[in-house]
Amino acid sequence: MSALGDFVNRLNDLDWSWWPFLRLRPARHEDLTTMRVATIALAFAPLPGALLGIVSLFMLGSWEPTTVVRYLSTGVGATTGLFFIIFRLVFAVCWNRRAARLRAVPAGPPVTGQGGTT
């Protein structure tokens, strides 16, 4: 699990993987809570879900209003739900393990001045 966790956390640390919602990323020592994961899912997943719904509509060839609403809402809902589940079970678990390790490391002795004298 360590190799997978290290790989996932390297992905989590890349700024471009959070764009344009970089402000949603917690500090490395903070837990990635379920509420934060839900917020991230609601920020990232609806657009790909809508695109999935539109592609499905093109494949189906039906543009009746009820069909459009059904496919778009299903695409957005399913993509958001899957994103939440995968992100919570994989990315948040790896992030939280690292955060716990970082919090467990002592800060070290206080700095007392130049040359070690006070």
* Calpha distance 14→22 (Å, rounded): 10
Question: Phi-psi bin for 90: left (phi > 0), alpha (psi -120 to 50), beta?
Answer: alpha
Counted domains in the chain: 1
Residue 29 lies in a domain: yes
What's the pTM value of the predicted model, to 2 decimals? Answer: 0.81
Answer whether residue 109 is part of any domain: no
DSSP per-residue string spanning 30-91: S---HHHHHHHHHHHSHHHHHHHHHHHHHHHT---HHHHHHHHHHHHHHHHHHHHHHIIIII
Q: Is 115 a member of any domain?
A: no
Is 113 domain-assigned? no
- Per-residue confidence in pLDDT tens, the chain, 118 aa: 689 999 999 999 999 999 999 999 999 999 999 999 999 999 999 999 999 999 999 999 889 999 999 999 999 999 999 999 999 999 999 999 999 999 998 766 666 665 555 4
Residue 118: inside a domain: no
Tens-digit pLDDT profile for residues 34-45: 999 999 999 999
Amino acid making up residue 20 = P
In a domain, 20, yes or no: yes
d(CA 99, CA 107): 14
* Six-digit token string for 28: 């490395």
In a domain, 37, yes or no: yes
Residue 114 lies in a domain: no
Residue 41 lies in domain: 2-102
Other C-beta atoms lying within 10 Å of the C-beta of residue 118? 5
pLDDT in tens, 10-26: 999 999 999 999 999 99
Cα–Cα distance list, 19 to 34, 40, 57, 63, 90 (Å): 20, 11, 28, 33, 19
